[in-house]
Amino acid sequence: MSEDIVIYTKNLTKKFGSFTAVDNINFEVHRGEIFGFLGANGAGKTTAMRMLCGLSKPTSGEGYVAGFDIRKQPEKIKQSIGYMSQKFSLYEDLKVWENIRLYAGIYGMKDHHIAEKTEDLLEKLHFTKERNTLVASLPLGWKQKLAFSVSIFHEPKIVFLDEPTGGVDPATRRQFWEMIYEAADRGITIFVTTHYMDEAEYCNRVSIMVDGRIDALDTPHNLKEQFNAHSMDQVFRRLARKAERKE
């Protein structure tokens, strides 16, 4: 497999009893790519992402992340990735700097390295004055920026973002995406799920899942052409209409 390929799946499948949540998915993601992983509620995105992060074993098929086998080397994968989701994120009752130190420690960084990088990060985010602020009292958009920064603090090869910008306005989302571009420019691969179609437009390539299968995968430009649509929203609606699975 080429070194440029950081995520690879072949017929990756997850069943819960007789129900097939993820049904033979095949795709590759390249280094530094911003890959959008779309699908209606219940399409199977979270289940697929959990397998890729080494948190859940596939029923059948193969998957490699950062060169490691998702079946046999889940611990290696966990060390090579960053993860941010709306549900699992910062500790609200800890201060800004405490959250940074906690997560950097979990990701295995050394104390002196953490201290040095924390200063750089606070400055970059214009957060120096908020060092001792409890995360609970930050606006949601700031929390999301901090959570993303923390998820890539250890410079992982790949970061998985599960609906990272839920609940904020388009202008704040746009600022968040500036940070995503910057990380991708440094070679970090971005794997992102979202329900916002403006964000789908920002991705290099987008896959769309319907009932556990990947029904379309291409650049936003090509998908719009293929589905004769003027926006990703229209592409998404055309595909999602076929879904039998309703949540």
Write out the residues near ligand ATP by the rule CB under 6 A: 16, 21, 39, 41-47, 245, 247
Supply the minimum distance, in Å, between the C-beta of residue 32 and ligand ATP: 25
Q: Which is nearer to ligand ATP, 41 or 226 (CB)?
A: 41
**In what order do the strands lie in the sheet containing 5-16?**
19-30, 5-16, 60-65, 68-69
Q: Which is nearer to ligand ATP, 35 or 142 (CB)?
A: 35
Supply the minimum distance, in Å, between the C-beta of residue 209 and ligand ATP: 6
**In what order do the strands lie in the sheet containing 189-193?**
81-85, 158-162, 189-193, 34-39, 205-210, 213-218
Q: Which is nearer to ligand ATP, 16 or 181 (CB)?
A: 16
Please give the Cα distance from 163 to 123 (Å, whole number): 26
User: What contacts 212, CB < 8 A, 6 or more positions away?
Assistant: 20, 21, 22, 23, 25, 43, 44, 245
Supply the minimum distance, in Å, between the C-beta of residue 98 and ligand ATP: 29
Supply the minimum distance, in Å, between the C-beta of residue 177 and ligand ATP: 20
Please give the Cα distance from 149 to 117 (Å, whole number): 11
Supply the minimum distance, in Å, between the C-beta of residue 232 and ligand ATP: 16
Supply the minimum distance, in Å, between the C-beta of residue 39 and ligand ATP: 5
Please give the Cα distance from 78 to 48 (Å, whole number): 15
Q: Is 179 left (phi over 0), alpha (psi -120 to 50) or beta?
A: alpha
Alpha carbon distances (Å) from 118 to 10, 128, 130, 131, 137: 39, 10, 12, 10, 20
Backbone φ and ψ of 200, nearest 5°: -60, -35
Q: Which is nearer to ligand ATP, 17 or 108 (CB)?
A: 17
Query: Is residue 44 within 8 Å of 18, Cβ to Cβ?
Result: no
Question: Given the DSSP bridges, would you call strands 158-162 and 81-85 parallel, antiparallel or unpaired?
Answer: parallel
Supply the minimum distance, in Å, between the C-beta of residue 103 and ligand ATP: 23
